[in-house]
Amino acid sequence: MTFNRILFLCVANSARSQMAEGLARNIFGGDVDVVSAGSMPSQLDPLAVTAMAERGIDISRHRSKAVSDLDAASFDLVVTLCADEVCPVLPGKVKRLHWPITDPARVDPAGDREKALEAFRVARDQIRERMRVLAALRGLGAGPEGREWHSSIRVADLARSARFYAWLLGIWPKEWTHRYATFIRADLNLNFVLVVSDGEELHHDTLYHLGVGVETRSAVIEAYHRAVAAGMPVVKPPRTTWKGTPLHELWLTDPDGTLVEVYARLTPAELAGMPADQQPVFLT
């Protein structure tokens, strides 16, 4: 999804949507045109100004605006931030997101200003983290066209966990050892592995990773080029491996170091071409 003009809406356009506007300008810079408004605009809350100033963002010149004065067709994305109130509506066909953020102005600063300011800080930081995710997703290109998914989790007691997941998934494990149990649900395109958390290093050789199955060898290569274009970390470029389960595979890593395998199963004709030494064959 991409967008170049975004509108943040709440009721009074005094706190949440104003902070969202300031945060968006700070995070997106000049790449995105940002506006905020409300269904019952009042005036900018001084505590919103203070909370934003603590993060080095000046919104003191912001003014409350009415949503009724705006044209939905001029925006690519509308984000509403109401939690317990009735959110304003901007009629028209536009991409919409809803971030329910508790109104910090509900805390009366006359009784305890520091408590009231803390409510604004909480709202500010909740909006900021959502904004960071939105910014990370803006303009993101297509990833691999997955046909199946597999994952593994660490468990303390393999027998107890195998019993639980056999009940949850409605099947016995397809296979198990002293170290892992593998569940296969073809109707869900699911390959799910339980790995014993016994102090041994967990990595792709011990089945601790995530995996996305794609259709063909060409799809693995295409996933590699898409990953490079999107700036995703590549651990091992596309290759065909023969030992264990023969696969065309690409290894990526997520920001926390979790390995992700993009793979395709070999066709009978490809299997017939297995080299005598079974050494991997790189595809790019």
Report the pLDDT value the prediction gives residue 219, as an integer from 0 to 100.
Answer: 96
**pTM, whole model, 2 decimals?**
0.81
Domains in the chain: ranges and CATH: 5-137 (3.40.50.2300), 158-273 (3.10.180.10)
Measured CA to CA in angstroms, residue 240 lies from 206, 221, 275 at distances of 19, 11, 11
CA atoms within 13 A on the CB side of 112: 9
Beta bridge partners of 247: 241, 265
Cβ 230 vs Cβ 220: under 8 Å: no
| 284 residues of the chain, pLDDT tens digit each | 789 999 999 999 999 999 999 999 999 999 999 999 999 999 999 999 999 999 999 999 999 999 999 988 899 999 999 998 888 888 888 899 999 999 999 888 888 999 999 999 999 999 999 999 999 999 998 898 888 888 888 888 999 999 999 999 999 999 998 888 999 999 988 889 888 876 666 554 555 678 899 999 999 999 999 999 999 999 999 999 998 889 999 999 888 788 889 999 999 999 999 999 999 999 99
User: What residues act catalytically?
Assistant: 10, 82, 87
Measured at the CA of 200, the angle between CA 194 and CA 206, to 5 degrees, comes to: 50
Report the pLDDT value the prediction gives residue 120, as an integer from 0 to 100.
Answer: 97
Non-local (6+) Cβ contacts of 279 within 8 A are 242
Place of tokens 């303009």: 139
Pull the structure tokens for residue 248.
């065309």
- Other beta carbons less than 10 A from residue 245's beta carbon: 10
Label residue 13 left, alpha or beta by phi (over 0 means left) and psi (-120 to 50 means alpha): left
- Other beta carbons less than 10 A from residue 229's beta carbon: 10
Query: Which residue spans within 47-94 are E strands per DSSP?
Result: 77-80
Report the pLDDT value the prediction gives residue 87, as an integer from 0 to 100.
Answer: 85
- Other beta carbons less than 10 A from residue 7's beta carbon: 26
Non-local (6+) Cβ contacts of 226 within 8 A are 141, 142, 143, 144
The rounded distance, in Å, linking the Cα atoms of 216 and 214 is 6
The rounded distance, in Å, linking the Cα atoms of 191 and 140 is 27
Looking at residue 66, the DSSP 8-state letter turns out to be B
The candidate with the shortest Cα–Cα distance to 127, out of 36, 61, 256, is 36
The rounded distance, in Å, linking the Cα atoms of 126 and 136 is 16
Report the pLDDT value the prediction gives residue 90, as an integer from 0 to 100.
Answer: 82
The amino acid at 196: V
Pull the structure tokens for residue 60.
């003191």
The rounded distance, in Å, linking the Cα atoms of 270 and 130 is 45
